[in-house]
Amino acid sequence: MLTIEDLPLEGKVVFLRVDMNTPLDPANSKLMELNRIQEASVSIRDLSKCRVVVGSHQGRVGRDDYIGMEQHADALTNILGKKVRFADDIFGPTAVKEIDSLSNGEVLLLDNLRFTAEENMEFSPSAAAKTILVQRLVKHFDACVLDAFPTAHRAHPSIVGFSYILPTCAGRLVSKELKALNRIMTVSKAPFTTVLGGAKVSDRLEAIDTLIANKRADKVLLCGLIANVFLKGARKIEYDIGIDKEDAMVERATFLMADYPDTFQLPIDVAVDRSSERVEIPVEELRAGDRVFDIGSKTIDHYSRIIRSSGTIFMSRPPGLFEDPRFGVGTEAILRAMASSFGTTIVSGGHLSAALHRFGIREWIDHVSTAGGALVLFLGGKRLPLIEALEAYEKKMKDGH
């Protein structure tokens, strides 16, 4: 695929698709960390002789993290040390006026791309090129730089549509992640262990399928909400967990455990909040209304032993609410087990990156990726639409189109 130096971008209007999707503090909806914004700033700096229009999504429709991009513009302004303009618009007259008035070296951030319906849907590249989002904006752009590695698994118009029409190359984060991951995948050894936590249950189930099918998960250590779904499938939890399509998810988990009986490891004990205290209980004692905030000590010991005897360990999302010191025990212990293991270690996502910094063990992990779901699918050997878009443009160039 091509990179920034391979296209004549000086003086051009460049659409730069990044991923600045960031967890928000539930108390005040402020950005909780700036890792992805920091990473996005690298390509912006390297496009300093262009007129840069930055696009990103934030959150998902209907969730608490689905907000506009004003805070991201302020954070980028601080990181870059120069004013980043913000349009509270995506393809309407305000955005178009702002884009057309950009001078060389100026940066404009559009509002949350998912505020448009089309950016929440998947398309083939040719269909994405016909969406209103792409059609309204593409005539104002000369080139497209794809740098949203954490969104590489989404065939959204901003990823596969502009790149179908415009000269397109990879940004710095995409290059950095692919270089590191390709290096790691060539040296990584079995047995492969995956530690999965987090709340996006249907995404996690898809991830498990992909990893197992591609022999990238000999053992799957489950934590958080996804663990509850498997615990319910194993009849250790009898009550409703309260997630979307719960019955279907539990049924899927039950089938997976039957198909791969030795693969899944479920928590033995968990930590819950009782009168503002961390209390550890065996999973069999969980009752409706209990909110699980961490794995318990027996589970930590069991999971740590598996981690220490693994050749490659991949961890996606924290096992507990580590921002709260009472419930950070599991996250710290599992990350420390990874840091001290002889295996190859990959950690995914902003939460875990923040946790590694907090515990002072960031440099002991082989690769800390900005991506969550995209990384799981990449490690599982799936073709990612963003990578395909970059390869398609490079092929077009080679074939002389």
Q: How far is the CB of 64 from ligand 3PG (least distance, A)?
A: 13
Q: Which of residues 336-375 bind ligand 3PG (CB under 6 A)?
A: 372-373
Q: How far is the CB of 20 from ligand 3PG (least distance, A)?
A: 9
- Give the integer Cα–Cα distance in Å for 222 and 227: 5
Residue type, 163: S
Which residue in 237, 325, 345 sits closest to 283, CA to CA?
237
Nearest residue to ligand 3PG, using CB? 21
Binding residues for ligand 3PG, how many (CB under 6 A)? 8
Assess 154 for contact with ligand 3PG (CB under 6 A). yes
Between residues 328 and 350, which has the closer beta carbon with respect to ligand 3PG?
A: 350
Burial 37-49 (b: 16+ CB within 10 A, else e): bebbbbbbebbee
Rg (CA), the chain: 22
Between residues 154 and 232, which has the closer beta carbon with respect to ligand 3PG?
A: 154
Between residues 60 and 357, which has the closer beta carbon with respect to ligand 3PG?
A: 60
Between residues 219 and 317, which has the closer beta carbon with respect to ligand 3PG?
A: 317
Fill in the per-residue mask, 53 to 72: x = in contact with ligand 3PG (CB under 6 A), - = not in contact.
-------x------------
Q: How far is the CB of 56 from ligand 3PG (least distance, A)?
A: 9
Instruction: Tell me the β-bridge partners of 397.
Output: none
Given 9, 12, 17, 19, the residue binding ligand 3PG (CB under 6 A): 19
Between residues 150 and 171, which has the closer beta carbon with respect to ligand 3PG?
A: 150
- Residue 371: how many other CB atoms lie within 10 Å: 26
Fill in the per-residue mask, 114 to 153: x = in contact with ligand 3PG (CB under 6 A), - = not in contact.
------------------------------------xx--
Q: How far is the CB of 61 from ligand 3PG (least distance, A)?
A: 9
Instruction: Tell me the β-bridge partners of 14.
Output: 52, 143
Q: Which token pair is 221?
A: 């250590």
CA dihedral 47, 49, 53, 56 (to 10 degrees): 10
Between residues 21 and 341, which has the closer beta carbon with respect to ligand 3PG?
A: 21
Q: Which token pair is 349?
A: 């996502």
Q: What element of type H or E holds 180?
A: helix 172-187
Q: Which token pair is 172?
A: 């710095």
Q: How far is the CB of 374 from ligand 3PG (least distance, A)?
A: 6
Contact, 52 vs 107, CB < 8 A?
A: yes
Burial 69-86 (b: 16+ CB within 10 A, else e): bebbbebbbebbeeebbb
Between residues 304 and 348, which has the closer beta carbon with respect to ligand 3PG?
A: 348
The contact set with ligand 3PG (CB under 6 A) reads 19, 21, 60, 150-151, 154, 372-373
